[in-house]
Amino acid sequence: MNISEKEFLAPGHRACAGCGATVGVRLALKALGKNTVAVSATGCLEVITTPYPETAWNIPWIHVAFENAAAVASGVERALKSQGKDAQVVAFAGDGGTADIGLQALSGAMERGHNLIYICYDNEAYMNTGVQRSGATPYGASTTTSPHGKESFGEDKPKKNIPMIMAAHGVPYVATASISFPEDFMKKVQKAKETDGPAYIHLHQPCTTGWGYDPSKTIELGRLAVETGSWILYEIEDGDFRVTYRPMERKMVDEYLLAQKRFKHLTQEERNRIQKNVDALCTELKI
Amino acid sequence: MVKKVFTSNRAVAEAVKLAKPQVIPVYPITPQTTISEYLAQFVADGDLKSEYIRVESEHSAISAALGASGAGVRVFTATSSQGLALMHEILFAAAGMRSPIVLVDANRALSAPLSIWNDQQDTISERDSGWLQIYAENAQEALDAVLIAYRVAEDRDVLLPCMVCIDGYFLTHTVEPLEVPSPEEVDQYLPPYKPYAFLDTENPMSIGTFTDPDYYMEARYAIEGAMEKSKEVMVQANQEFAKIFGRKYDLVEKYKCDDAEIIIVAMGSVCGTIKDVIDSLRDEGEKIGLLKIRVFRPFPREEIKQVLENGSKVAVIDKNISFGMGGVLYNNIKAKTNAEAYGFIAGLGGRDITTEYVREIVEKTKNPTREIEWIGLKTEEV
């Protein structure tokens, strides 16, 4: 794959060492190119890339609030259209800004069929405010608002399935991706760009502070999520579902869980329960 | 120019058609809804070339408006009451991002209890958002205010959003004769929008950034400066308006104030009723006047001071309440003048402010017993 050497997200921003979100945005922008307008929801990405008077964005960028990235992007898209401009609009929001507080605006924008790409960078909790549980937090994860304790094993609900909720909207291109599979992700971004109408990409990205692991292990851990079947890479093109990556031999979920502080408290029995759920889905998808 | 008989909602829609915003995100809410319906029909008929976005909430309406404005086009939206309250967060962002959005609010009471009827609590509660606010007395003023709003909001020295406030039902659903300007006249008054800073792939910039304590106060101070400057710009815009359309507006309107012993101060449609009562009272030999506050933000401090500090007693009518403090207009006037003023809370939740109530306010101002009075209150129901 030919990956552009041009950078549209400049280095020197304020992200943590080992931040997965900025890796994702950097790759996405390489796939989209210069003729792109970005919209951000409030969150890590917005805060670390635009401390006034500095900015890491080499393309036009706008941020308004937490829950409205999809609505702001809708306005941007129509305004560009009304001026006969063909720039690609891309919205970036975290999992909280997508699965929770921003879901209504996202649903509206997708249903209206704007020609925009929405990328959810999913680090599975509210990392910007200090690792609080979101709708995308996985079963068993300990967060500051779903802590494990004498009466709790951590998050007791499964992860909300936003990509499928998007697919149910009839969005012509829906995909999941991982920052640890850059070619797969960038191909999906390109497909999203070629899509006539809205596209949704749910990008899984490890967070060193929220998940509790060494910053040098971000890419490794993202890969492990996919290799264990804990995160599945697929795309849905005009309703056709296709798994885009199948591990040669699926690894045990324990390997992924035990590498992270947020799952360290789980008993073998609890981890087995997670393995069982992963097995069920993977069997269904022949992974 | 054509003579028509329209509701204020229709008048607003006609003004929007003439102002030609490129993007219109709207969400229905009573009593604003017919504005969005007229605009939808204009677009459907090809009479208005705008991108009409049927958003899923008022929060998204103002968010999409702000996004579109950031992308460099003229935008319009309209709402009312709960809808404006839902926009609250983004209203501040729009002013902070110096986005010249024009919004028409059909003034309606805020819940609870739920009411679809008129008062001005909704827009008054947004007075500190950084938006300019113009209150219309009738359909003609509503139409004209939309055109003036764009002209002032888009001025490089201002770049602040502007809210045109029209009383729910009293204006939105009442037909009145008015003059609709010709497109040529409006084009002369309101040239196509030229954005100052916008999302441009050839000249990328970041809009709506994160700011630490080193810069936040300066950004807010700049808004304060723009708000001050907007007064002068508004006066010029009014003068230019008078030249082209022949109708003259000021920040405040004096009605028989010069020799008045009591001056009533009010905003919006109730001013029509008050003028009628003043005419009758004058026939009865009573020297009463009205100071209509047409522009509430920027607050016309000097203009108000000049009229009210001539020794007359002042009766301020508020269709809103800041609990424990009286009405907000009353408090603003008390803060900025030395006039002997009394506050009257009236017309909340659509209760009609009748000619009798206006007379009662005059009588109570002659012999005041309390600083703040609630007019038309059914004490037996409290």
pLDDT value, residue A206: 98
Residue B111 gets the label, from left (phi > 0), alpha (psi -120 to 50) or beta, of: beta
Quick one: pLDDT band at residue A1, thresholds 50, 70, 90?
confident
Cα separation, A178 vs A160, whole angstroms: 17
Q: What is the mean pLDDT of chain A?
A: 97
Cα separation, B344 vs B270, whole angstroms: 13
Return phi, psi of residue B364, to 5°. Answer: -65, -30
Judging contacts by C-beta atoms under 8 Å, the chain B residues touching residue A34 are 201
Tell whether B376 is within 8 A of chain A (Cβ).
Answer: no
State pTM to two decimals: 0.98
Q: From the candidates B199, B211, B214, B218, which should be mutated to test the interface with A, based on the most A CB atoms within 10 A?
A: B199
pLDDT value, residue B1: 82
User: B224: Cβ–Cβ under 8 A, 6 or more apart, which residues?
Assistant: none
Quick count: other Cβ atoms within 10 Å of Cβ A102?
A: 28
Minimal Cβ distance to B210: which of A35, A52, A68: A52
Quick count: other Cβ atoms within 10 Å of Cβ A93?
A: 30
Assess whether pLDDT exceeds 90 at residue A252.
Answer: yes
The residue of chain B with its CA nearest to that of A35 is: B201
Taking an 8 Å cut-off on Cβ atoms, the answer to whether B53 and A78 are in contact is yes
3-state secondary structure B349-365: HHCCCCHHHHHHHHHHH
Tens-digit pLDDT profile for residues A64-120: 999 999 999 999 999 999 999 999 999 999 999 999 999 999 999 999 999 999 999
Quick one: pLDDT band at residue A3, thresholds 50, 70, 90?
confident
Q: Please, what is the end-to-end C-alpha distance for chain A in angstroms?
A: 25
Question: Both tokens of residue A277?
Answer: 């759920």
Q: Please, what is the end-to-end C-alpha distance for chain B in angstroms?
A: 50
Cα separation, A222 vs A20, whole angstroms: 9
- Which ranges of chain B have pLDDT less than 70? none
Query: Given CA atoms A200, A205, A209, A210 in this order, what sign does their dihedral have?
Result: positive
Assess whether pLDDT exceeds 90 at residue A29.
Answer: yes
What average pLDDT score do residues A217-240 get?
Answer: 98
Cα separation, B23 vs B53, whole angstroms: 7
Taking an 8 Å cut-off on Cβ atoms, the answer to whether A71 and B201 are in contact is no
pLDDT value, residue B311: 87
Burial class (CB in 10 A: 0-12, 13-18, 19+), A176: buried
* Residues linked to residue A159 through DSSP beta bridges, in sequence order: none
Q: Could you tell me how far CA A161 lies from the centroid of its own chain?
A: 12
Query: Given CA atoms B123, B124, B125, B128 in this order, what sign does their dihedral have?
Result: positive
Residue type, A172: P
Residue type, B76: F
pLDDT value, residue A54: 96
Return phi, psi of residue A98, to 5°. Answer: -110, -55
- What is each CA distance from B344 to A228, B121, B322, B378, in whole angstroms? 70, 14, 12, 15
Nearest to A141 by CA among A158, A157, A155, A161: A155
Q: Does ipTM come in above 0.90?
A: yes
A119 membership: H or E segment, kind and range: strand A116-122
Assess whether pLDDT exceeds 90 at residue A215.
Answer: yes
